[in-house]
Structure 1
Amino acid sequence: MLHLKVLLALGAYVYTTSALATPMAYGYPTLSQVQQKFTTEGVVPDVLASFKPTALLYLTYNGNLSDGTNTKVVLPGTSFVRNDTLNTPEFSVDGMKNGTYIIAIVDPDAPSRANPTVSQIRHMFATNFVVSATRSTSAASSMVLQNTTAAISPYFPPNPPVGSGAHRYVALLYAQPENFNNASLNATQFAKFNISSFAASVGLGDPLAGTFLTVEQKAPLCINANSHNDSELKKDFGVNEIISVPEMHLITEKPRFVSQQMLSTADGDLQPDTKRRAENIVYIPDSDIPGHLLVFETTIRRSAKPQVARVGHQISITMVKSHLLAALSLTSVASVLASPYAKYPTLAEVKKTFYSEGIVPDVLSSFNPTSFIYLTFTGNLSDGTNSKVVLPNTSFARNDTLVPPEISVQGIKGSPYVVAIVDPDAPSRATPTSGQIRHLLAANFTVSNARSKYVPQSLVLKNSTAAVNDYRPPTPPVGSGPHRYVALLYSQPKNFDVSFLNVSDIRLFNISSFAARTGLGEPLAGTFLTVEQKNTTAV
Structure 2
Amino acid sequence: MFSSVGLAALALAAVASADDNARSVGTLEFKNLFVESGIVPNVIAALDPSVSFYAGYRSAADGHSELLVPGASLTVSEASLPIEFSVENLGNATGVTQQTRYLIYLLDTDAPSRDNPTSRNLRHYLAGNYTLATNSSGIVASDILPTASRLTVAANRFFPFTQFTPPNPQPNTGVHRFIYALYTQPSRFDTVGFESVGMDRATQNWNLSQWRTQLGLGPAIGATFFTIDTGANNGQGTSANRTDFTGTSGASTASVSLFASGLTVAATVLGLMAVF
Q: TM-score range by the shorter chain?
A: 0.5 to 0.7
Partner residue of 2:204? 191
Q: Distance in 1 between matches of 2:131 and 2:179?
A: 20
The residue type paired with residue 182 of structure 1 is F
Q: Is the 8 A contact 1:75 1:212 kept in 2?
A: yes
Q: Is the 8 A contact 1:47 1:196 kept in 2?
A: no
In structure 2, do the counterparts of structure 1 residues 129 and 331 end up closer, same or farther at CA, with 3 Å as the change threshold?
closer
Deviations 1:456-481 (A, max 9, x none): xxxxxxxxxxxxxxxxxxxxxxxxxx
The residue type paired with residue 185 of structure 1 is M
Q: Is the 8 A contact 2:75 2:248 kept in 1?
A: no
In structure 2, do the counterparts of structure 1 residues 156 and 139 end up closer, same or farther at CA, with 3 Å as the change threshold?
farther
The residue type paired with residue 213 of structure 1 is F
Q: Residues 278-427 of structure 1 correspond to what in structure 2 (within 5 A)?
A: 330=253
Partner residue of 2:173? 164
> Structure 1: any 5+ residue segments left out of the alignment?
1-24, 220-239, 244-327, 333-539
Partner residue of 2:116? 115
In structure 2, do the counterparts of structure 1 residues 200 and 94 end up closer, same or farther at CA, with 3 Å as the change threshold?
same
Q: Is 1:150 matched up with 2:150?
A: no
Percent of residue pairs bearing the same amino acid type: 28
Partner residue of 2:71? 77
- State the 4+ residue runs in structure 1 displaced beyond 6 angstroms: 240-243
In structure 2, do the counterparts of structure 1 residues 216 and 176 end up closer, same or farther at CA, with 3 Å as the change threshold?
same
Deviations 1:163-209 (A, max 9, x none): 1111111011101112135122233x211112233112221110000
The residue type paired with residue 134 of structure 1 is V
Deviation at 1:87, TM superposition (A): 1.8
Deviations 1:414-466 (A, max 9, x none): xxxxxxxxxxxxxxxxxxxxxxxxxxxxxxxxxxxxxxxxxxxxxxxxxxxxx
In structure 2, do the counterparts of structure 1 residues 157 and 79 end up closer, same or farther at CA, with 3 Å as the change threshold?
same
In structure 2, do the counterparts of structure 1 residues 78 and 241 end up closer, same or farther at CA, with 3 Å as the change threshold?
closer
| 1:179 partner SS | helix
Q: Is 1:182 matched up with 2:194?
A: yes
Deviation at 1:241, TM superposition (A): 6.2
Partner residue of 2:93? none
In structure 2, do the counterparts of structure 1 residues 27 and 178 end up closer, same or farther at CA, with 3 Å as the change threshold?
closer
Partner residue of 1:516? none
Q: Is the 8 A contact 1:107 1:170 kept in 2?
A: yes
Q: Distance in 2 between matches of 1:105 and 1:329?
A: 19
Q: Distance in 2 between matches of 1:177 and 1:58?
A: 22
| 2:219 partner SS | coil
Q: Is the 8 A contact 1:92 1:142 kept in 2?
A: yes
| 1:93 partner SS | strand
Q: Is the 8 A contact 1:82 1:216 kept in 2?
A: no
TM-score, normalized by length of structure 1?
0.35
Deviation at 1:242, TM superposition (A): 8.0
In structure 2, do the counterparts of structure 1 residues 329 and 73 end up closer, same or farther at CA, with 3 Å as the change threshold?
closer
Q: Distance in 2 between matches of 1:241 and 1:31?
A: 30
In structure 2, do the counterparts of structure 1 residues 178 and 78 end up closer, same or farther at CA, with 3 Å as the change threshold?
same
Q: Is 1:216 matched up with 2:206?
A: no
Q: Is the 8 A contact 2:76 2:252 kept in 1?
A: no
Deviations 1:361-410 (A, max 9, x none): xxxxxxxxxxxxxxxxxxxxxxxxxxxxxxxxxxxxxxxxxxxxxxxxxx
Q: Distance in 2 between matches of 1:145 and 1:196?
A: 25
Q: Distance in 2 between matches of 1:115 and 1:44?
A: 18
- More strand as a share of residues: 1
The residue type paired with residue 151 of structure 2 is L
Deviations 1:277-322 (A, max 9, x none): xxxxxxxxxxxxxxxxxxxxxxxxxxxxxxxxxxxxxxxxxxxxxx
Q: Distance in 1 between matches of 2:170 and 2:178?
A: 14
Deviations 1:101-138 (A, max 9, x none): 11111111001121110111101101011111211110
The residue type paired with residue 129 of structure 1 is Y
Q: Distance in 2 between matches of 1:136 and 1:119?
A: 32
Q: Distance in 1 between matches of 2:45 and 2:248?
A: 38
> Structure 2: any 5+ residue segments left out of the alignment?
1-20, 91-96, 134-138, 233-246, 256-276
In structure 2, do the counterparts of structure 1 residues 331 and 178 end up closer, same or farther at CA, with 3 Å as the change threshold?
closer
Q: Could you say which structure has the larger radius of gyration?
A: 1
Q: Distance in 2 between matches of 1:329 and 1:143?
A: 29
Q: Distance in 2 between matches of 1:329 and 1:103?
A: 24
Q: Is the 8 A contact 2:54 2:86 kept in 1?
A: yes
The residue type paired with residue 192 of structure 1 is N
The residue type paired with residue 39 of structure 1 is V
